[in-house]
Amino acid sequence: MVDTVKNKYGSIDYLINAAGVNIHGQFSKLDERDWDEVIDINLKGVFLCCKAVWPIMTQQKESQILTISSASGLNSYPTGTIYCASKAGLNSFMDALTLEASEVGIKVTNICPGQIDTPMWNLNDGEVNNARKYMLSADSIASLVDYVLTRPWNEQFKNLTLFPYEIKGSMQLLLRSKNRGPGGKFPTSQENN
């Protein structure tokens, strides 16, 4: 991927890490396969992408790495042990990378949004679908990314947290357990995840 972009455009000015998966469930029902899938994509994937562009960006200077993490890495919740751990690890990784990157001319920004209306949520769950109107839109995150990447070079956003204004209280608790369950499957209404 990195070689393809470098060969086509001659440089890599930006890396945007935006992949993520989420598996929820009571801790006792989670297994190693669930852990490996979430950690490999949410944390190791970002590490590998940053590692791949690092030599190019350090030579270029004035490059940027931006990662879409999650507010779940700042505030944990029941049934989110693996996801919260992956995002907390990602937040710490980006925080440390920011310090090293500043020494070699790379800006690093970490965005920690709350609930975003994406297919990561169970499309067959009526309660989730009713809550979608309150969630952040993917377009709003894209606008924020664009804003950060187009700021003058002397401006740096290190960590940004963004929450949906209307999602709080009982709706927030409901949504926290509505992603994929153990084994990577969406829970049915009969399953206790």
Residues serving a catalytic function are 83
The vertex-14 CA angle with 71 and 157, nearest 5°, equals 45
Contacts of 162 (CB under 8 A, 6+ apart): 71, 111, 112, 113, 114, 136, 140, 141, 144
Q: What's the token pair of residue 103? A: 């020494």
Distance CA 180, CA 138 (A): 20
The pair of three-digit structure tokens given for residue 184, joined into one six-digit string? 């990577």
How far apart are alpha carbons 193 and 178 in whole angstroms? 9
